[in-house]
């Protein structure tokens, strides 16, 4: 089945804009953040959402209350290459999934790598998740959701929970996750010309900012090298045309090796984190992820 007309228009625009990305020395992350914010703010919230900002153990979070939702939650970690983004900028995705499965959302605004490298952002996510549990929410009633860098962080956060003896959530969904920050996979190099979103020097950019001297095979940096034994049901989604394709495949292999109930979904002919845009395919993705989160309740 071919992709939608809307998706084709978006992909054409992304390919053209990708060619205009400046060299690393000329990147203006503040400007990039403002541009993304402007784009995301143009997308409407679904009906039945109330937005509130608060502090979670000192970490700023955005809370989305969904009409009719009970005490079940999505803990959402946004993407943006560890360098830009916010929970608000991923709200179109998280809110549309939340209303489909009647869950509230806690979106964490972790420290970006422009301010501090690993492990600052991950530790913020851990503190915010612990805060949510401290409010009385049960871990089995929480699911983790993240895309791109956020996909890395939801998997790393689960490993962090194991290390710190924090109860794991009821389910995890990582979309287009960057699971291996060694950037040595065949798809990272082999699919570079097929990529619509990421730039060819993403490896240098992430390693020199977020990683900044960290062991690239530390599982909290690159979850594909972790021991995922004991993880809850986990869904990994990836588009066929992205450089992180092998990251997703190898993460699935790691999860299966460790006995995790894992779901793998490949989106043919689509691009990295397409679900952030208003497309027919995005609605399909929201439906599938919401159904997965509803099914996680079976495993309580």
Residue 207: the pLDDT is 97
Q: Using a pLDDT cut of 90, give the percent of the chain over it.
A: 84
Quick: pLDDT tens for 162-181.
Answer: 999 999 999 999 999 999 99
Residue ranges per domain, the chain? 5-299
Residue 297: the pLDDT is 65
Q: Measured in whole angstroms, how far is the alpha carbon of residue 174 from the centre of its chain?
A: 6
DSSP string, 146-180: EETHHHHHHHHHHHHHHHTTPPP-SEEEEES----
Contact 81, 62 (CB under 8 A): no
CA-CA distances (angstroms) from residue 230 to 153, 171, 210, 271, 289? 17, 11, 27, 31, 21
pTM, whole model, 2 decimals? 0.96
CA–CA separation, 160 and 270 (whole Å): 31
Contact 71, 106 (CB under 8 A): no
Greatest distance between any 2 Cα atoms in the chain: 50
CA–CA separation, 58 and 217 (whole Å): 29
pLDDT(62) > 90: yes
Could you tell me the CATH superfamily of domain 5-299?
Alpha/Beta hydrolase fold, catalytic domain (3.40.50.1820)
Residue 157: the pLDDT is 99
Place of tokens 């993460």: 251
Place of tokens 């159904």: 291
Contact 154, 145 (CB under 8 A): yes
């Amino acid at each position: 089945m071919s992709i939608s007309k809307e998706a084709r228009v978006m992909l054409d625009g992304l390919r053209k804009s990708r060619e205009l990305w400046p060299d690393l020395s000329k990147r203006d992350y503040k400007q990039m953040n403002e541009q993304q914010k402007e784009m995301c703010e143009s997308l409407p919230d679904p009906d039945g959402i109330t937005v509130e900002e608060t502090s979670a153990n000192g970490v700023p979070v955005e809370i989305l209350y969904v009409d009719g939702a009970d005490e079940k939650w999505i803990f959402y970690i946004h993407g943006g290459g560890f360098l830009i983004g916010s929970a608000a900028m991923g709200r179109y995705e998280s809110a549309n999934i939340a209303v489909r499965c009647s869950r509230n959302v806690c979106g964490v605004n972790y420290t970006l790598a422009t301010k501090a490298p690993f492990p600052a952002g991950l530790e913020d996510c851990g503190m915010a998740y612990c805060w949510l549990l401290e409010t009385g929410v049960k871990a089995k009633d929480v699911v983790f959701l993240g895309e791109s860098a956020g996909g890395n962080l939801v998997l790393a956060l689960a490993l962090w929970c194991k290390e710190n003896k924090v109860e794991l959530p009821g389910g995890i969904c990582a979309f287009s996750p960057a699971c291996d920050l060694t950037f040595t996979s065949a798809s990272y190099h082999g699919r570079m010309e097929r990529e619509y979103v990421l730039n060819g020097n993403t490896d240098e950019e992430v390693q020199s900012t977020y990683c900044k001297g960290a062991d690239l095979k530390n599982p909290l940096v690159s979850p594909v090298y972790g021991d995922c034994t004991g993880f809850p049901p986990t869904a990994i989604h990836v588009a066929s045309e992205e450089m992180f394709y092998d990251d997703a495949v190898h993460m699935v292999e790691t999860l299966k090796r460790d006995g995790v109930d894992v779901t793998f979904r490949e989106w043919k002919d689509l691009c990295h984190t397409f679900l952030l845009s208003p497309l027919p395919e995005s609605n399909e993705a929201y439906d599938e992820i919401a159904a997965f989160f509803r099914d996680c309740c079976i495993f309580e």
